[in-house]
Amino acid sequence: MNREAPGLIPAGGFPVISVIVAHPRRSTTHPTAVTPDRANQAPAPRFPRPPGKGTLFPHAGHTRPSPPTTTTRTPEGELVSAEPSRLTLTERSGLSRDPEAVREALYTHRIRLTGRLAELSPADWTAPTRCTEWTVHEVARHLVDVAEFHVACLTGRLAHSRFGRLREFDPTSTPGEWLRDSAGRSPEQTIDALVTLTEAEHDSLGRLIDASATVTSPLGGRWHWSVLALHILWDAWMHERDMSATLRAGRPQSAAIQRLVALYGLLVSASVAARSGEVPQVTVRLVGSPDDMYEISGPRGDVRVTAGATSSPHLSGRFEAVLESVAGRGPRLAEVVGVSNPAVEHLSRLTAIMK
């Protein structure tokens, strides 16, 4: 049974604040907002104190149920499990199954990245990144800002947080203003802050698993709450890659994280295209991704991306290269996929926003 999320309601207005997505050349923003439930606002969660070394994330070892499967009958009439139905992500409804996967993927990614940050030397923290105006430490502090923003959204405290003081958002200066709030923070304090916010984020998302609440999307219109969480995951995934020249080699990303990042990266690209016309009805092959083929479809205002498509692709390229290109990093999409056609043009429109 659906329930409304504490701190969120399905519709209404709220002053727009922005989630930051730093570009390699300059900081860029995507405005987003949530609508707090003013009549029945949940109390702010008490953030846990950063655990000691060796117990950074108390939930890290737990498991979640496997995705539901369908059943089919054998010729003898016996019911047997079949493969799960294809996973679909839509703007208005989120994932077609297992929204818990979003919560766990974001949590797992933060654990992984925090561990990699903890391995850095003092010199590493001052190293440059693909976000040329920011060092590794500044990118990490930016991730703390975004995590804090996300928790404020999830708990209905956005208007009363430090982000609520922003009346107008300047994409060339506001990210730096946020960073000035933590200018004296040490790397150890940055890691502790990210640990604390990761736990708060995980707990807050847990209250939304059965909820149907929607939020104002970064592009306008309404999104399911889990799609905003995927925006945060996609942003963190991209920034980890921005720091990859300095970070020590880590274990590969899980298939679950790659799948969700692929679904969201294509969804946001198609959503931007839909703002200036029809939703591109295309199939994209992301070589090296868990599902290989992804189908973009749906009406304007409820774009959908389905993993495991079976139709012939309109364009094909390496998973990471395609997602980085549409986010304004690396070569143009036409160069990455080796073809220029209307589908490429549509999906490249996000790049203009990111620059």
Q: In CATH, which superfamily holds the domain spanning 1-37+98-251?
A: dinb family like domain (1.20.120.450)
Note the CATH architecture for domain 254-355.
2-Layer Sandwich (3.30)
pTM of this prediction?
A: 0.79
DSSP string for 209-275: TTB--EEE-TTSSEEEHHHHHHHHHHHHHHHHHHTTTTSPP-PPPPHHHHHHHHHHHHHHHHHHHHH
pLDDT in tens, the chain (355 residues): 333 333 332 333 333 333 345 554 444 433 343 433 333 333 333 333 333 333 444 444 444 334 444 444 444 454 433 344 689 999 999 999 999 999 999 999 999 999 999 999 999 999 999 988 999 999 999 999 999 989 988 888 877 888 877 656 565 677 788 899 999 999 999 999 999 999 999 999 999 888 888 887 767 778 899 999 999 999 999 999 999 999 988 778 899 999 999 999 999 999 988 887 778 899 999 999 999 999 999 888 889 999 999 999 999 999 999 999 999 899 999 999 999 998 899 899 888 776 6
Domain boundaries, the chain: 1-37+98-251, 254-355
